[in-house]
């Protein structure tokens, strides 16, 4: 079950994802960021690995924004959706509600990201995405009280 906006959608297909590019990218980049954050908190990944994952998911999100011709003022709902899904993954972990359905969504999002990124040369600037990811990592460390 993926949370898209305020609705819940199950079995989201890639065809639907392409029609709802920015919404799907915001959802999945949030899910991927949340999942990577949990791995980092559990010490099953390093800070550098977390930074790499967030950089990649940020590039995915920003490229989707560009493809949808979104203006900066149009990005707020998608940024919120990204944050909500990051929080959702962390809450599943904290509340011990991580189940096979949540795991399936994580896999779906990683698959969608890899399909979206495969063979593309038009992906948004790495350095800008890395800078944004660095800021996100600092926030995540605060959430998990990691220094």
CA distance 33 to 14: 20
3-state secondary structure of 146: coil
Place of tokens 């969504």: 105
User: 55 is written with which tokens?
Assistant: 């950089």
Average pLDDT score over residue span 96-106: 90
Average pLDDT, the chain: 79
Q: What are phi and psi of 2, to 5 degrees?
A: -105, 140
Tell me how crowded residue 6 is: count the other CB atoms within 10 A of its CB. Answer: 7
Separation of CA 46 from chain center? 18
CA distance 85 to 34: 7
User: 52 is written with which tokens?
Assistant: 């790499």
Q: Is residue 3 part of a domain?
A: no
Average pLDDT score over residue span 119-129: 67
Q: Is residue 4 part of a domain?
A: no
Q: What pLDDT, on a 0 to 100 scale, did the predictor assign at position 145?
A: 79
Q: Is residue 115 part of a domain?
A: yes
22-70, pLDDT tens digit by residue? 888 889 999 999 999 999 999 888 999 999 888 888 888 888 888 888 8
Q: Is residue 103 part of a domain?
A: yes
Domains identified in the chain, total number = 1
Q: What pLDDT, on a 0 to 100 scale, did the predictor assign at position 11?
A: 45
Q: Is residue 2 part of a domain?
A: no
Largest CA distance in the chain: 42
Q: What pLDDT, on a 0 to 100 scale, did the predictor assign at position 125?
A: 63
pTM for this structure? 0.77
Q: Is residue 99 part of a domain?
A: yes
The answer to whether 98 touches 104, Cβ cutoff 8 Å, is: no
Q: Is residue 110 part of a domain?
A: yes
Average pLDDT score over residue span 71-77: 84
Q: Is residue 118 part of a domain?
A: yes
CA distance 82 to 18: 17
What's the domain range around 105?
19-143
């Amino acid at each position: 079950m993926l949370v898209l906006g305020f609705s819940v959608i199950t079995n989201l297909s890639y065809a639907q994802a392409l029609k709802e590019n920015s919404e799907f990218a915001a959802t999945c980049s949030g899910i991927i960021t949340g999942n990577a954050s949990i791995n980092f908190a559990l010490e099953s990944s390093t800070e550098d690995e977390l930074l790499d994952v967030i950089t990649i998911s940020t590039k995915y999100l920003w490229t989707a924004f560009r493809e949808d011709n979104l203006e900066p003022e149009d990005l707020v709902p998608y940024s919120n959706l990204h944050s909500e899904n990051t929080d959702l993954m962390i809450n599943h972990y904290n509340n011990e509600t991580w189940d096979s359905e949540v795991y399936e969504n994580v896999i779906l999002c990683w698959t969608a990201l890899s399909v979206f990124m495969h063979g593309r040369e038009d992906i948004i600037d790495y350095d800008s995405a890395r800078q944004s990811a660095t800021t996100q990592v600092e926030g995540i460390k605060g959430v998990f009280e990691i220094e």
